Structure 1
């Protein structure tokens, strides 16, 4: 029998609408789209802020559940590559009990015939985590389900390496502030190279987000990073999968 919690029984509708955009995550070594991140947008493509600014604390759970379901069902209709992962942002404070609160996501995956092994749930360290043990419990449960977990905005938040050591997610996303103009900053190059080396020792995949130029890409490749996301490759597609910049234009010759 499925685990249940009180919050999961709340079927109240949200007082606003939203949809999804999808931004590619590319593997420049294998010359393929590795996956897509689902991003919240307004009903006509408005910014994520236009949606999130309407949220109240009482609506967090309902929104988190509805966003997951919409992302999975939309991806099920759009994806044509069975190997592509779907990355979904989630709100740790909206998860009461991870085994219970994932049930709607599992039901959505069944309806959409979307393989749960290709789901990745990402959370950010950009906000102070009041209960790291709760986050650790979520990550452990999600891994047991066979999902990937990702730590977003790594290098920009409160916990940094201590959080990485405690949670050991499958993937970390290097914050775009470390990525921006990295080719011009020796300190950024040293930091990113060190983080990439640590991640390799821990068997954690590294993704650089917010890449906007070939110079940034080349510098990040020198650190051994293979996964990338950013406007250099494609802007998010509103309720669609955008065309990705041609891989033949990328210099990926540096060994990873």
Structure 2
């Protein structure tokens, strides 16, 4: 089914039917500390192979997006609970707008509960494609973050340096535990020396841990380490896969000469 050929309202209905049929599934990309896999990011895949992010944009209704997220996170929770602890933390992507939803805490509860049972820390990554709320909605967002922190959940800014996830003002407002650096800044690091210097300053000032995406070579990893980055993610360290593949990739990579 090519949902992009349908009118927007029918696209949404078709997509919801695909979800109900179980055609969406999670994969896990390893995150390392330079010595071994310590965490994983949950990514969404579609058995039909279509562009997931482009397709779910037809779910313009916030309730539908929340429903979609809840269904997906329930699937992730079931997978986690089907095996023993393998990682120290798990990170999921949430839009700033979803944080404002009255169902937000209910939506993330199953994945938090699964992580809590396994003694795995849950991270929430705030995605870069949506403007952050202001005024009273900003206060509501921060209140939601307060509840999350009370549950032991860490807040991360995803793809920092791209989209709406830029600047010190955002860090000052959100007060993230972790900032994930957009892969484009790793690729073009020779043109962004000022960015890296500024980032190191902000990390010290706000006591933030840094994670670099886009580690595609040993040289990328060496550069990231030289910047004082704590965590690393990229195809050089492991591709997205099942939880079983996550463990095997870790063993294969770190036992190689």
Query: TM-score scaled to structure 2, two decimals?
Result: 0.77
* Contact 2:196/2:227 (<8 A) preserved: yes
- Name the residue aligned to 1:169: 176
Query: In the superposition, relative to structure 1, how do residues 104 and 233 fare at CA in structure 2: closer, same or farther (>3 Å)?
Result: same
- 1:109: how far off? 4.8
SS at match of 2:239: coil
- 1:38: how far off? 0.4
Is structure 2 residue 45 aligned with structure 1 residue 41? Answer: yes
- 1:172: how far off? 0.5
SS at match of 2:16: coil
- Name the residue aligned to 2:72: 67
Query: In the superposition, relative to structure 1, how do residues 249 and 174 fare at CA in structure 2: closer, same or farther (>3 Å)?
Result: farther
Aligned length: 231
User: Equivalents in 2 of 1:109, 1:153: separation in Å?
Assistant: 23
Is structure 2 residue 150 aligned with structure 1 residue 179? Answer: no
- Name the residue aligned to 1:9: none
Q: Show CA shifts across 1:40-90 (max 9, x none).
A: 111356543365245342511111222222223223335532x52110111
Unmatched 5+ residue regions in structure 1? 1-12, 251-256
Q: Show CA shifts across 1:111-135 (max 9, x none).
A: 6873476111111234222434343
* Contact 1:155/1:175 (<8 A) preserved: yes
User: Equivalents in 2 of 1:34, 1:165: separation in Å?
Assistant: 27
SS at match of 1:199: helix
Is structure 2 residue 36 aligned with structure 1 residue 32? Answer: yes
- Name the residue aligned to 2:108: 105
User: Equivalents in 2 of 1:240, 1:249: separation in Å?
Assistant: 19
- Name the residue aligned to 2:91: 87
Query: In the superposition, relative to structure 1, how do residues 21 and 45 fare at CA in structure 2: closer, same or farther (>3 Å)?
Result: farther
- 1:107: how far off? 4.0
Query: In the superposition, relative to structure 1, how do residues 104 and 130 fare at CA in structure 2: closer, same or farther (>3 Å)?
Result: closer
Is structure 2 residue 136 aligned with structure 1 residue 129? Answer: no
Query: In the superposition, relative to structure 1, how do residues 194 and 92 fare at CA in structure 2: closer, same or farther (>3 Å)?
Result: closer
Unmatched 5+ residue regions in structure 2? 1-14
Query: In the superposition, relative to structure 1, how do residues 78 and 231 fare at CA in structure 2: closer, same or farther (>3 Å)?
Result: farther
- Name the residue aligned to 2:7: none
- Name the residue aligned to 2:3: none
| Pairs within 5 Å for 1:192-207 | 192-207=196-211
Query: In the superposition, relative to structure 1, how do residues 194 and 102 fare at CA in structure 2: closer, same or farther (>3 Å)?
Result: same
* Contact 1:21/1:238 (<8 A) preserved: yes
* Contact 1:21/1:39 (<8 A) preserved: yes
SS at match of 2:17: coil
Query: In the superposition, relative to structure 1, how do residues 193 and 140 fare at CA in structure 2: closer, same or farther (>3 Å)?
Result: same
Higher helix share: 2
- Name the residue aligned to 2:25: 19
- 1:209: how far off? 0.6
